[in-house]
């Protein structure tokens, strides 16, 4: 049996008529960049999130960059983010002219450890960017409190957490979708994400009209109307084909999320009690949309090789925490600055996870994990 890490072809086959019609429509109307399909997707996405504004852009990296610029982050500022993420989250802080400040992860949920944030706040700190990594929310009660108390802006990197929710409890605001908790929520629609385009795409959501306007302007060469440029901006546009594809796929996202959650439940059940493996824990306040199903494994590299030899695709997210990448050597960090992220980098393993994965495929993956540890 083959179990790929993800399977985008199967998903396309399942919705081929809808997708092909959407693509043909864009081409027939030559609505290639911005235009009616992009406006429609922005409206669909804003409605899906129950927010006032959705600003589309070229990718999820630009989304964070545009958010930082709109919040006035620039030279002399510091922005706090998490040690374990994809470099997109931190490189845009530098590109905005500010300094990235990293915080270790929580041992149970692999997100930014809110209890370690305040020690890194200085007079220059402008914003915090929690990442809802692997599909589950960060500790938003604590993070929101810190932002309020210290006067910091809050950008949520939701690239891996489409429609994930966090429950503040009734007196404190109840259930909220991630991306609508802070000032700005940013999304990637990279093909492999839970909601994926057929190329690069991204979006930003906010309820703040002034921020929305300034992000829309900045992403479009500093312009809100043709040949009028209020500022110098960048070229970060969503194209019509991606927008039309995303509008189709948006109709299926909740079904796909449910199927990811079902696959995760099967993994949980079959892996329970297996020595050598720690299965993912779900935060009591959060829902997990399982962009990735990440376990911690004894002899991770050995297990990964064994699974590969049995036709099972896996991944590591990420092999090196951001502060230990060559790009951040200049910050001079040591392993003891981020002990949890440092320890986990050799243990974490992402197992095959996609909505179409079958029960038989999950059973086969688990059987091969048991065989590796001699616990059949
Ligand atoms: C994918 C991803 C991004 C960047 O999105 P792109 O669309 O690839 O630019 C940012 N942050 C996280 C956590 C991601 O997983």
pTM value is 0.98
What pLDDT digit, counting tens, does each position of 41-85 carry? 999 999 999 999 999 999 999 999 999 999 999 999 999 999 999
Could you tell me the pLDDT band of residue 284, with boundaries at 50, 70 and 90? very high
The CATH number covering residue 242 comes to: 3.40.640.10
Give the atom of ligand 1 at the shortest distance from the alpha carbon of 64. 10
In a domain, 1, yes or no: no
Mean local confidence (pLDDT), 291-300: 98
Boundary (domain end) residue, out of 250, 269, 302: 250
| Statement to judge: residues 232 and 263 lie in one domain | no
Q: How many CB atoms lie within 10 A of CB 60?
A: 27
In a domain, 320, yes or no: yes
Q: CB within 6 Å of ligand 1 — which residues?
A: 59-61, 85-86, 88-89, 131, 157, 159-160, 188, 190, 200, 202
| Statement to judge: residues 112 and 185 lie in one domain | yes
In a domain, 2, yes or no: no
**CA–centroid distance, residue 201 to ligand 1 (Å):** 10
- For residues 227 and 58, which has the higher predicted lDDT (pLDDT)? 58
Q: Bridge-partner residues for 202, per DSSP? A: 57, 188
In a domain, 210, yes or no: yes
Looking at the 3D structure of the chain, how many domains does it have? 2
Could you tell me the pLDDT band of residue 172, with boundaries at 50, 70 and 90? confident
- pLDDT at 173 exceeding the cut of 90: no
Mean local confidence (pLDDT), 347-354: 98
Q: Are 66 and 272 in contact (CB under 8 A)?
A: no
The reported pLDDT for the residue numbered 34 is 86
Q: Please tell me the distance from the alpha carbon of residue 61 to that of residue 341, in angstroms, as a whole number.
A: 22
* Exposed e or buried b per residue across 240-277, where buried means at least 16 C-beta atoms within 10 angstroms of its C-beta: bbbbbbbbbbbebbeebbebbbebbebbeebbeebebb
Q: What is the domain range of residue 123?
A: 8-250
| Statement to judge: residues 199 and 70 lie in one domain | yes
Return the best residue to mutate from 160, 191, 201 for the ligand 1 pocket (most ligand atoms within 8 A of CB): 160
| Statement to judge: residues 182 and 257 lie in one domain | no
| Statement to judge: residues 75 and 217 lie in one domain | yes
| Statement to judge: residues 136 and 199 lie in one domain | yes
Nearest alpha carbon, ligand 1 atom 14: 159
Boundary (domain end) residue, out of 204, 222, 250: 250
Half-sphere exposure of 263 (CA within 13 A, CB side): 28
The reported pLDDT for the residue numbered 375 is 87
**CA–centroid distance, residue 190 to ligand 1 (Å):** 7
Question: Across all residues in the chain, what is the average pLDDT?
Answer: 97
């Amino acid at each position: 049996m083959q179990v790929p890490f993800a399977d985008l072809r199967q998903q396309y086959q399942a919705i081929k008529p809808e997708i092909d019609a959407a693509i043909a429509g864009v081409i027939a109307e030559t609505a290639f960049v911005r235009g009616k399909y992009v406006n429609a997707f922005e409206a669909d996405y804003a409605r899906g999130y129950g927010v006032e504004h959705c600003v589309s852009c070229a990718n999820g990296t630009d989304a964070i960059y545009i958010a930082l610029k709109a919040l006035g982050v620039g030279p002399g500022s510091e922005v706090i983010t998490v040690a374990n993420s994809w470099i997109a989250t931190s490189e845009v802080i530098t590109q905005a002219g500010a300094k990235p400040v990293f915080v270790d992860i929580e041992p149970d949920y692999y997100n930014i450890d809110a209890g370690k944030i305040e020690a890194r706040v200085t007079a220059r700190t402008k914003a915090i960017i929690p990442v809802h990594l692997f599909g589950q929310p960060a500790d938003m009660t604590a993070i929101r409190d810190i932002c309020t108390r210290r006067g910091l802006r809050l950008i949520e990197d939701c690239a891996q957490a489409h429609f994930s929710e966090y429950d503040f409890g009734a007196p404190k605001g109840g259930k909220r979708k991630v991306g609508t908790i802070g000032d700005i929520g940013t999304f990637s629609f990279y093909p492999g994400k839970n909601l994926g385009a057929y190329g690069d795409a991204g979006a930003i959501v906010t309820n703040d009209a002034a921020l929305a306007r300034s992000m829309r302007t900045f992403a479009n060469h500093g312009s809100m109307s043709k040949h009028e440029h209020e500022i110098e901006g960048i070229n970060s546009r969503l194209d019509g084909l991606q927008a039309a594809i995303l509008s189709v796929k948006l109709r299926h996202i909740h079904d796909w999320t449910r199927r990811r959650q079902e696959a995760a439940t099967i993994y949980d059940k079959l892996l329970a009690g297996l020595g050598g493996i720690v299965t993912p824990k779900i935060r009591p306040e959060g829902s997990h949309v399982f962009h990735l199903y990440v376990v911690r494994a004894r002899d991770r590299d050995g297990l990964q090789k064994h699974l590969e030899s049995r036709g099972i695709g896996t991944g590591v997210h990420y092999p090196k925490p951001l502060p230990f990448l060559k790009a951040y050597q200049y910050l001079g960090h040591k392993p003891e600055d981020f002990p949890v992220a440092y320890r986990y980098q050799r243990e974490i393993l992402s197992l095959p996870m996609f909505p179409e994965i079958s029960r038989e495929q999950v059973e086969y993956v688990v059987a091969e994990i048991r065989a590796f540890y001699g616990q059949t």
